[in-house]
């Protein structure tokens, strides 16, 4: 399966493309978080039009499948890092190395943009995600709290390019 994934190149989506399928992928993929994380995911407040606006300001990358996107991520250049957000792999495509393909591509994009690292956040409650990102070469760099919370709600991870 690693050979299959190594041949895949993500495709950048433009802001005029139909973001409905990407939004559907995100909703399906993030559904398991409902009731597990507090506060709820920002995805609850996003729609396809928001993703189109995001594509104009950031980079939305997908791995296309025969019936729609199999994986997606949003890359946002920041002052000293490339922020990787909304990484998702369709349940039917899990275990094929697509998340690794996306992470590897994010590192390539960071280098191309002259940024020294890729960073991301995942929720405190999603400990399985913490382990996954460490296994992909990320290092935990801290915690943050959403506004109005007096406890950490997210864990920050960084990988140097």
pTM score, whole prediction: 0.94
Residues of the chain falling short of pLDDT 70? 1-4, 6
Q: pLDDT per residue over 89-110, tens digit each? A: 999 999 999 999 999 999 999 9
- Residue 7's pLDDT is 76
- Residue 44's pLDDT is 85
- Residue 4's pLDDT is 62
CB 20 within 8 A of CB 48: yes
Percent of the chain whose pLDDT exceeds 70: 96
- Residue 70's pLDDT is 97
Closest CA to 36 of 103, 159, 128, 101: 128
Helix, strand and coil percent figures for the chain, each rounded to 5: 35, 30, 35
Alpha-carbon 127 to chain mean position: 16
The CATH number corresponding to 2-160 among 1.10.10.60, 3.40.630.30, 3.40.50.2300, 3.40.50.700 equals: 3.40.630.30
Q: Which residues lie closer than 8 Å to 89 by C-beta, 6 or more apart? A: 29, 70, 71, 98, 99, 102
CB 124 within 8 A of CB 95: no
Helical pair 48-57 and 20-30, crossing angle rounded to 10 deg: 110
């Amino acid at each position: 399966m690693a050979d299959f994934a190594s041949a895949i190149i993500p495709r950048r989506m433009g802001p005029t493309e139909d973001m409905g399928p990407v939004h559907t992928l995100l909703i399906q993929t993030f559904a398991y978080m409902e009731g597990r994380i507090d506060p709820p995911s920002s995805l609850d407040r996003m729609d396809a039009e928001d993703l189109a606006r995001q594509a104009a300001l950031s980079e939305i990358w997908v791995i296309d499948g025969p019936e729609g996107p199999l994986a997606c991520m949003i890359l946002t250049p920041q002052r000293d890092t490339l922020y990787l957000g909304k990484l998702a792999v369709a349940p039917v495509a899990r275990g094929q190395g697509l998340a690794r393909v996306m992470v590897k591509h994010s590192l390539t994009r960071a280098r191309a943009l002259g940024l020294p690292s890729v960073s991301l956040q995942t929720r405190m409650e999603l400990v399985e995600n913490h382990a996954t990102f460490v296994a992909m070469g990320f290092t935990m760099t801290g915690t943050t709290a959403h506004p109005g919370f007096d406890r950490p709600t997210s864990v920050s991870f960084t990988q140097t390019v």
